A and B are shown apart, each in its own frame.
Chain A
């Protein structure tokens, strides 16, 4: 089975978010970058588990500059076989998806696994865009994936519950929580990652949207503390003051 896992770099989940250039640019000073958690914990780990069970290869795909190489090496240390980086600074999801699809279309992958969204732009658009560009089936918010021969058996988030679905390969999916458990790379993985291939490719893609302005949410006012022995007062305040219930 030939698997492509799309991984993006994202600011560490504990990062304080700030902007420079009058709110035009994300302030990356002091920010630690990680593999986007949905891509790493769910898509990448499930891809590696399927390779271990059925044989095949796991290739990672990243769109970005050389600044992304450390997180790509981390994915290789976790167990991917090789990596491709589309060398571009994409402006939006459409451009990112075009770059990925233009590489994937000639490579005969069986599965393209993506995280459900990145924790910076929260777009959740690239996976389904790739599927449409390749004219492949797509499963959104998959929480479970098994492969038997040419058939993928999945579970996915649906209105009011989890839906079971069967789809023939090839397939694109976006992975949500439940798909796999985080794996910590071991020393052997870290050592071998250094010598695995990281191929840099070029392609064209056109953006159709751009962020004009970032802003931060307004500060919360002071928290009103209610004594624990008057907890009932909270319910009155929620109804009469906050009008929330």
Chain B
């Protein structure tokens, strides 16, 4: 018996979400006196760092897969091979495509976007876009979980895992990948995985003023984001929109400049561990949700913060 983690790869390495899924599977397996096994599709160097998360074995399919139904068949075969009654994925585009299909195939109940290990037969997840939490219980024998990015973290300290080749009859791919547009040219961490985020809203007055936001983000090694109005009017790309109808994030640090903090925006960011708000209006509702606040003009405050960060690292 084991716990199976489905680990997506990017350029030959497990994604951060994949390492988090492996860490969750390993921690859950340890609680249950089981062993954790990771499944990857594609080539990796040695164990890809998965042993460090506590996984003892890596099943490696040599074919890179993108089609969710091929992935589902592979994962179902792997679950059978290692006798897994619990399968863990990351709640990103991969977990959303593969997890629910796998749940149907394994006749398993699924809880998506979990934030902690199961306790007393229920597992916690965020609901109402972060405005509340729910403890969910599953009645089936086999269970599928997907873990919210940046909630559980990547564990380390484990020993190298044994890698064994694995294959299964997965059928033909029904999709053809024809191109890729990188989200940013400068290699920023993708927003859902980012630990540090610098975000700005209409208070910046125009897209030409985003240099001061990007400068601070660059100095911190942070990812840039924006409010809904800013992406709707085309100042910034849609994939930067955080909030209830954009991306929900939970970084370690969220800095918001020139964003008033409407309830829909708060819903997408209020799980951030530390929130900093910079706004000229002392009555901006965002201050009520913030840990630190500066009542001031972003055009003056952001460059000062950038200089202070650079001085810190000098």
Q: Complex formed: what's the CA distance from A227 to B196 in Å?
A: 23
Q: Which of the listed residues B129, B264, B267, B288 has the most CB atoms from chain A within 10 Å of its own CB? A: B129
Within A138-165, which residues are at the interface with B (CB < 8 Å)?
138-141, 143, 153, 155-165
Q: Complex formed: what's the CA distance from A220 to B300 in Å?
A: 27
The number of residues on chain A lying at the interface, defined by a beta carbon within 8 Å of a beta carbon of chain B, is: 82
Q: Complex formed: what's the CA distance from A92 to B127 in Å?
A: 13
Q: With A137-B67, A238-B274, A244-B274 in contact, do A119 and B245 touch (Cβ < 8 Å)?
A: yes
Q: Is the CB of B308 within 8 A of A135?
A: no
Within A88-125, which residues are at the interface with B (CB < 8 Å)?
92-94, 97, 116, 119-125
Q: Is A51 an interface residue when CB atoms closer than 8 A count as contact?
A: no
Chain A residue at minimum C-beta to C-beta distance from B189: A160
Q: Complex formed: what's the CA distance from A157 to B267 in Å?
A: 21
Q: Is the CB of B97 within 8 A of A211?
A: no
Q: With A161-B180, A166-B176 in contact, do A132 and B238 touch (Cβ < 8 Å)?
A: no
Q: Is the CB of B8 within 8 A of A159?
A: yes
Q: Complex formed: what's the CA distance from A103 to B243 in Å?
A: 34
Interface string of A170-210 (1 = CB under 8 A from B): 00001001100000000000000000000000000001111
Q: Is the CB of A231 within 8 A of B238?
A: no
Chain A residue at minimum C-beta to C-beta distance from B243: A13
Task: Categorize the interface residue count of chain B.
Answer: 35 or more
Q: Is the CB of A245 within 8 A of B93?
A: no
Distance (Å) between the CB of A202 and the closest chain B CB?
A: 21
CB-based closest 10 A-B pairs? A228-B296, A208-B109, A164-B179, A128-B100, A140-B97, A132-B101, A232-B308, A132-B104, A235-B308, A244-B253
Report which B residues bind A (CB closer than 8 A).
8, 10, 15, 66-69, 72, 91-93, 96-101, 103-105, 108-113, 122, 125-140, 174-183, 190, 196, 220, 231, 238-239, 241, 244-246, 248, 252-253, 263-264, 267, 270-271, 273-274, 276-277, 287-297, 300-301, 304-305, 307-309, 311-312
